[in-house]
């Protein structure tokens, strides 16, 4: 199965080449989500993730996807933990999916529908398994608990891995993870609450 899931991940290469930051807009109503999407896109953030944990989140995701199409910005679905949910977010137009862990069934369903998948990893065993499945991009989760040194340590045996540090990342500690070798960082409320200058600094990278 090596390499069989690698092609759809090209979307991450493009997104994070343009900006090493992904916004996680969790549990917000549709107007607030759309307002934040446009603000963050205006500031240079390219990737937006809408976690889908409630029925209403699917409608919010679809609205953000539509807005993203007009702005030429990819919008993905987060917390995608089942094959059934894969089908629902694909119908809503998600460009990619994100999950807290690595589930081969979810990965295969996403790939089959042409969506890039970003699964969570937290151990060398999981990174190695993801690599064997052809995944270059994974989510280091929960990053704050793992620590930035985890990124550096994992890149030694897996130099081609691309980690998106997620979980407890703020505008204050994001630079530490990028400096440690993370290819990108994902931020939730701290990004939405940050001022424009802090976001510009984060996008510029370490």
Cβ neighbours for 84, distance < 8 A, ≥ 6 positions apart = none
Active site residue 55: yes
Q: Return the closest-CA partner of residue 40 out of 75, 5, 3, 11.
A: 75
Active site residue 139: yes
The DSSP secondary structure of 172-198, one letter per residue, reads TTHHHHHHTT-SEEEESHHHHHS-HHH
Name the catalytic one among 14, 49, 55, 126: 55
Name the catalytic one among 14, 104, 126, 139: 139
> Order of strands across the sheet with 120-121?
116-118, 96-98, 75-78, 47-51, 21-24, 184-187, 162-166, 137-140, 120-121
CA dihedral sign, ordered 28, 16, 206, 128: positive
Active-site residue numbers?
Answer: 55, 139
């Amino acid at each position: 199965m090596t390499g069989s899931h690698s092609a759809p991940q090209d979307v991450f290469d493009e997104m994070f080449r343009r900006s090493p930051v992904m916004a996680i807009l969790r549990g917000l109503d549709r107007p607030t989500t759309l307002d934040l999407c446009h603000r963050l896109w205006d500031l240079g953030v390219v990737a937006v993730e809408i976690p889908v944990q409630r029925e209403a989140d699917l409608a919010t995701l679809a609205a953000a996807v539509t807005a993203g199409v007009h702005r030429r910005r990819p919008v993905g679905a987060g917390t995608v933990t089942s094959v059934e949910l894969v089908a629902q977010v694909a119908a809503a137009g998600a460009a990619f999916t994100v999950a807290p862990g690595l589930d081969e069934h979810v990965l295969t369903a996403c790939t089959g529908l042409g969506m890039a998948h970003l699964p969570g990893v937290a151990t060398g065993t999981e990174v190695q398994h993801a690599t064997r499945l052809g995944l270059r991009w994974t989510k280091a989760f929960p990053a704050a608990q793992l620590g930035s040194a985890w990124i550096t340590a994992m890149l030694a045996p897996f130099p081609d891995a691309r980690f998106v540090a997620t979980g407890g990342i703020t505008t204050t500690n994001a630079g530490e993870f990028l400096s440690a070798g993370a290819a990108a960082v994902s931020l939730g409320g701290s990004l939405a609450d940050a001022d424009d200058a802090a976001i510009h600094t984060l996008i510029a990278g370490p």
